[in-house]
Structure 1
Amino acid sequence: MVKGIVLAFLAFAVFAWGDAIVKAIGHGLDPFEVTFFGYLFPLLLSPAFMKPGDRILDMVRWNRPWLMGLRIFLIGSTTPLSVIAFRNLPFAEAFALLFLMPSLATILSIFILKEQVRWRRGLAVCAAFLGVLVIVRPGFREFQVGHLAALTAALFAAGGVIAGRMIGRTEKRFTLIGTVFLATTAIAGVLMIPGFAWPSAEQWILLLAFAATAFVAQALFIVATIYAPADRLGATQYSQILWALAIGALFFDEWPDALALMGIAIVVGAGLFIFAREQTLKREMPEDAAPAGMVEPSPAACPRP
């Protein structure tokens, strides 16, 4: 168990550095182009995640096609939206808004899955939205396109969570992983056409580094699930906010003020509480009620199956 947790922390550290590379690319390239090249190479290497009996065609061979199609569209769309957020907002602030996803998933579960949300989780959801208001401070700060992109990415990722719960155990793990790479590459490839510009040598290096982090981090997380159940590792993704604070301060000269730090703490604390409550509920559910070997993605520049 401990080895799995350590590997998961390492995986999310690599994810955070990948997001930092996206921010370093800045406005020099179209965000959809960044996403396309960042996920094209992991897509080509995705057979490394295959298990005995898996086939390449499993990427597009789905048992529940409508739900899978919805899930990959939602999750695939989170990456370019996250890229826009990271390019336009302070690093830690973008992460905090993206981590609104668990609260949004809780709300969606009420209306779509007809789940009963008790008062503790309800208060955590309210606290998360309060934290967002503290961060954004509408009326006192300009509401930027990055804020809209981050909040939309969180909503799309939450929708992907709900679709994943509805899919359950009907799809192979390679299908769930490979389709994310495939969908993200395909969606970004179409949307990058109007703003396409050939990358410079320096931009190619950054794009390859981003692609490497997407693949290496995913591989580390898959190995982590060998030593610990995937749903027990979900809380480790919140370590990214610590990386975001450190990277933003040291490399981008971004120093959040006291109110921003308070809002970040509220959003992250609420998300962790919701995660803990859902783990308690899962232990009370039938074993076949949740996807096997899988943690739903947090919406950052790299979707995580």
Structure 2
Amino acid sequence: MSSSRPPAPEASEDQASTAPLTPLEALGRDRPLKGIGYMIAAGLLFTMLDTGVKTLAQDYSPVQVVWARYVGHVVILLAWFVWLGKSTGGAMLKTGSLTGQCLRGLLLLGASTFAYLAFRSLPLLQVYVINFSSPLLVALLAVPLLKERVSWRQAMAIILGFAGVVICVGPVDWRSQPAILLPFGLTLCFALYQLTTRRFGRQDHPLTSLFYAGLAGAVVSSLVVPAFWSSIDPRDLPLFMFVGLMGAASQLTLIMAMRYAPASLVSPFLYLQIIWAALFGFVFFGDVPRPETWIGAALISVAGVMLAVSKKRSGS
């Protein structure tokens, strides 16, 4: 004897709107405060990473240090995926846009290469201050690439920020000091990396984005590192491992920041690296910033705050 059950009541719109979100759906929603928190953490981790890189770059080729950073990055992620198990870890390797993820990885590799070359001969803070213009470049490039609009307030912030860069660099003989050009390559690559993270990073799990960013760098750097290789002192191995660990951790926090909030909102909070870079540069390398560096950093920071406030007012 069979009994028929009454049909289950359909969920109302209110019930549907309060239904639990999947992990990716939750990560895909904008949460500005979380995004800002992750970006602040990313700034500290980047400074710790770059301090290790600058130390190693005094005795090893920057290309070799780049290779260690990305190979360590990938090894750590693969070990984590294995620990998660075949089903969960294997799922992390699936991406909605392999081309987009590889593009992100190549841009990050370019940014790292320019940075590591610059760290060899320039103070941490000077490289950082020039790179701090990347949020301004993000806002500018978001117009053609992400179809965002730039208001007159944002335009003024961009102009003020780039004026700060000019002051920070100061009068330079480019022919006798070509290294000062390296941070500008870093700035362009990093700005494009942030934009592609915002564009492609939301459709995949953060660990997926982190893995492919490291994989692209590891593959390319492994192809060229034999030409720059020198034997590693066993005493330096922990520092090489630290660089790999910090590389993975800093990029994960950056990815999370970009997933939770627009790039133009959270990017200015990387300016807190001014404090970390000045402190780490003085303690570990004896660098004393020039007055022009502080003036440029102040102008760029003000421009970043203006940009963030303007974005908040426009509701974007």
Give the equivalent residue in structure 2 for 1:42.
73
SS across alignment from 2:228: coil
Give the equivalent residue in structure 2 for 1:300.
none
Alignment of 1:212-291 (within 5 A): 212-217=245-250, 221=253, 229=260, 236-281=269-314, 283-284=315-316
Alignment pair present for 1:68 and 2:109: no
Quick one: distance in 1 between partners of 2:293 and 2:174?
12
* Counterpart code for 1:66: T
For these two proteins, the number of residue pairs brought into alignment is 279
1:101–1:155: 8 Å Cα contact kept in structure 2? yes
Alignment pair present for 1:108 and 2:141: yes
What is the Cα deviation at residue 120 of structure 1? 0.9
Give the equivalent residue in structure 2 for 1:153.
186
2:67–2:222: 8 Å Cα contact kept in structure 1? yes
1:102–1:275: 8 Å Cα contact kept in structure 2? no
Alignment pair present for 1:18 and 2:74: no
* Counterpart code for 2:60: L
SS across alignment from 1:267: helix
CA-atom RMSD in angstroms: 3.3
Q: 1:117 to 1:263 in 2, by over 3 A?
A: same
Quick one: distance in 2 between partners of 1:234 and 1:113?
16
What is the Cα deviation at residue 142 of structure 1? 6.5
Quick one: distance in 2 between partners of 1:241 and 1:247?
10
Instruction: Please list every run of 5 or more consecutive structure 1 residues that lacks an aligned counterpart in the other structure.
Output: 285-305
Instruction: Please list every run of 5 or more consecutive structure 2 residues that lacks an aligned counterpart in the other structure.
Output: 1-31
Determine which of 212, 228, 241 is the counterpart of 1:208. 241
Quick one: distance in 2 between partners of 1:162 and 1:5?
16
Quick one: distance in 1 between partners of 2:56 and 2:215?
23
2:125–2:281: 8 Å Cα contact kept in structure 1? yes
Give the equivalent residue in structure 2 for 1:301.
none
1:124–1:274: 8 Å Cα contact kept in structure 2? yes
Q: 1:191 to 1:125 in 2, by over 3 A?
A: farther
Determine which of 114, 133, 139 is the counterpart of 1:81. 114
- Measured against aligned partners, the alpha-carbon deviations of 1:11-65 in whole angstroms (never above 9, x if no partner) come to 5323312211111123321112101112322311215379896444744x43233
Give the equivalent residue in structure 2 for 1:289.
none
TM-score, structure 1 length as denominator? 0.77
2:268–2:308: 8 Å Cα contact kept in structure 1? yes
What is the Cα deviation at residue 7 of structure 1? 7.4
2:57–2:116: 8 Å Cα contact kept in structure 1? no
Quick one: distance in 2 between partners of 1:145 and 1:139?
9
SS across alignment from 1:171: coil
* Counterpart code for 2:180: H
SS across alignment from 1:199: coil
What is the Cα deviation at residue 143 of structure 1? 6.6
What is the Cα deviation at residue 236 of structure 1? 4.4
